[in-house]
Structure 1
């Protein structure tokens, strides 16, 4: 793909809608179709180029492959739906605001308090302030590995991802963006392990390091 913005097809929206309906039937006693509408609207906001339904769909597809590694799989899936529910490119508290949205929306939907708390913690883990293998929330390393799987994507998809991130920060001057972006990517490259879960480490670690090395060269 050569465009920066992900095109949201009717089929993608239909698939996400069906998936949400199935998920909410399993986990939430009260059905709230309005929450689905709010989430899809949020994921399609105009300032987003990477943090779009494309990213959500990629996360959910990968989760399907590793679902059996999760202690609370339905909670991990809900956390994926909500982890970028708030995305303001000029803010530094998107994860906190997304977690707050999850707290309120899922509590209103009738989710058990223990589940709401765990989902809150999972969303906050996507701040990526700590390496995933250092986290003690059982499902956090898996969720973070899924969120960071883009770093180990095939070269064309990684290149598209880099263009999409740049588009989200188009307001930042080129040299400043280049310096800041290089520092962020080097932070991942300098970790002893990028991926904590054995399966995703084996699948993605080497390619992620190759992608990051190329992206931070110079």
Structure 2
């Protein structure tokens, strides 16, 4: 199944709960799609608890995959298909026209969603509020936000925890900035239900604006439901109306056998371990980013997410951190640093156009931030061949390109070369030992036959490469 950066699955609402749809979603998740949106057509539900069951059921399928996954209901966002672009549209048996029209047969005996009439109805309240840290927006956050947007008909206030309340958080250095967290929340809410008025409040104390604002309902999780009592006590002192409480269940992390709720702490731990960075090194990396751009969202949300994907072992933020230490002497340091940050942003070992896709991602960033992208784009694309024969570059740019490419290859002369070789094997684990041995030796011999640019210790690099070749030749396959 071919990989697509952004995939839309259009599906009739009545297909929810059938094994065929569940398997189809998981099949696409297994291909490490970068983003999947499931757009459900014809949603006739009235009661919130049914939506809650549906969202828990669908998001449960995504827990063990790195793909960004979102569920959208057509009754709440009728203009969705006109307002969002996708690389591929899969149309599962709806009358709408898409790139594909796959007709599926369903076994009606396996439907899992029970339609009950109980509890609050959608749009029952005009004005509501919720709150949270919303760090590294995950499926638990998306369920909370989705149900909050279903609960209200006009206005939703979203309290996002501010710096003052985050001092005791585990791995605090890996926390996203308020700017990044609020943008991620806003983007999701506008995609899910753009008709609701949104207000964001940075929480410097737990109650935020709900202690005295005009609200009717507080949407909370089981973990945070005590906040309802606390807020209502504050409102009672001011002779304000008591807030209703819609308390949402908790989606559990199947990786931990259902013992632990999905949390942002887990994501911070994964980012740290996947990238092999200490908290201090991560903060240094963030400062390097801030030296070339004040747009933290692109670093904290987009680049960090990409470089922390599970298929990576060498091509992680550790590689970027190490490269940045090798850029001394660059004439235009901003160009070289940005090329470093983006050059491996897209990396799927089974694909052959990673450099081109990384370049396109950089160009999106450049367009948003209004910076010239031409030279940096050339730098990124040259990591495919590692050649410096770009005649139309100026002398300074050509010098910077050589520094950049040398930094990318500096692992070859490193004392950590053996770990690098092991990590590359992990990234290409889809090859058999025989296939990998043949292909890797060919790549290494090509390195030896070429000039390894201006590395500080070309002799050490050639020695490391030769030793790996000898180890591979001894493999019994």
| Residue pair 1:83, 1:98 contacting (<8 A) in 2 also | yes
Q: 1:53 is matched with which residue? A: 317
Aligned counterpart for 1:160 among listed residues 392, 399, 419: 419
Q: Residues 12-43 of structure 1, C-alpha deviation per residue, up to 9 Å, x if partnerless? A: 2211112211221xxxxxx4221012111111
Structure 1: distance between partners of 2:310 and 2:277: 12
Structure 2: distance between partners of 1:12 and 1:40: 14
Q: 1:18 is matched with which residue? A: 287
Aligned counterpart for 2:468 among listed residues 212, 215, 218: 215
Q: 2:404 is matched with which residue? A: 143
Q: 1:27 is matched with which residue? A: none
Q: 2:307 is matched with which residue? A: 43
Task: Give the alignment's TM-score, normalised by structure 1.
Answer: 0.83
DSSP-derived class of the 1:216 partner: helix
Structure 2: distance between partners of 1:42 and 1:130: 22
DSSP-derived class of the 1:23 partner: coil
Structure 1: distance between partners of 2:313 and 2:274: 5
Greater C-alpha Rg: 2
How far apart are residue 72 of structure 1 and its match? 1.8
Aligned counterpart for 2:380 among listed residues 119, 123, 126: 123
Q: 1:91 is matched with which residue? A: 351
| Residue pair 1:153, 1:204 contacting (<8 A) in 2 also | no
Q: 1:183 is matched with which residue? A: 442
Q: Give the gaps of 5 or more residues in structure 2.
A: 1-272
Structure 2: distance between partners of 1:148 and 1:185: 12
| Residue pair 1:5, 1:50 contacting (<8 A) in 2 also | no
DSSP-derived class of the 1:85 partner: coil
Of the two structures, which has the highest relative contact order with CA contacts closer than 8 Å and spacing of 6 or more?
1
Structure 2: distance between partners of 1:76 and 1:8: 22
How far apart are residue 5 of structure 1 and its match? 5.6
How far apart are residue 61 of structure 1 and its match? 1.0
Structure 2: distance between partners of 1:73 and 1:22: 10
Please identify runs of 4+ aligned residues in structure 1 that moved more than 4 A. none
| Residue pair 1:131, 1:194 contacting (<8 A) in 2 also | no
Structure 2: distance between partners of 1:121 and 1:172: 31
Q: 1:34 is matched with which residue? A: 297
| Residue pair 1:135, 1:141 contacting (<8 A) in 2 also | no
Q: Note if 1:104 corresponds to 2:368.
A: no
CA spacing shift, 1:143–1:131, aligned 2, 3 Å: same
| Residue pair 1:152, 1:204 contacting (<8 A) in 2 also | yes
DSSP-derived class of the 2:363 partner: helix
Q: Give the gaps of 5 or more residues in structure 1.
A: 25-30
Structure 1: distance between partners of 2:466 and 2:285: 34
Q: Residues 75-132 of structure 1, C-alpha deviation per residue, up to 9 Å, x if partnerless? A: 0111000000101111100000000111111121121x3xx100000000000x2544
| Residue pair 1:149, 1:204 contacting (<8 A) in 2 also | no
Task: Give the alignment's TM-score, normalised by structure 2.
Answer: 0.39
DSSP-derived class of the 1:141 partner: helix
Structure 1: distance between partners of 2:291 and 2:412: 29
The alignment covers a number of residue pairs equal to: 192
Structure 1: distance between partners of 2:336 and 2:278: 25
| Structure with greater helix percent | 1
How far apart are residue 9 of structure 1 and its match? 2.5
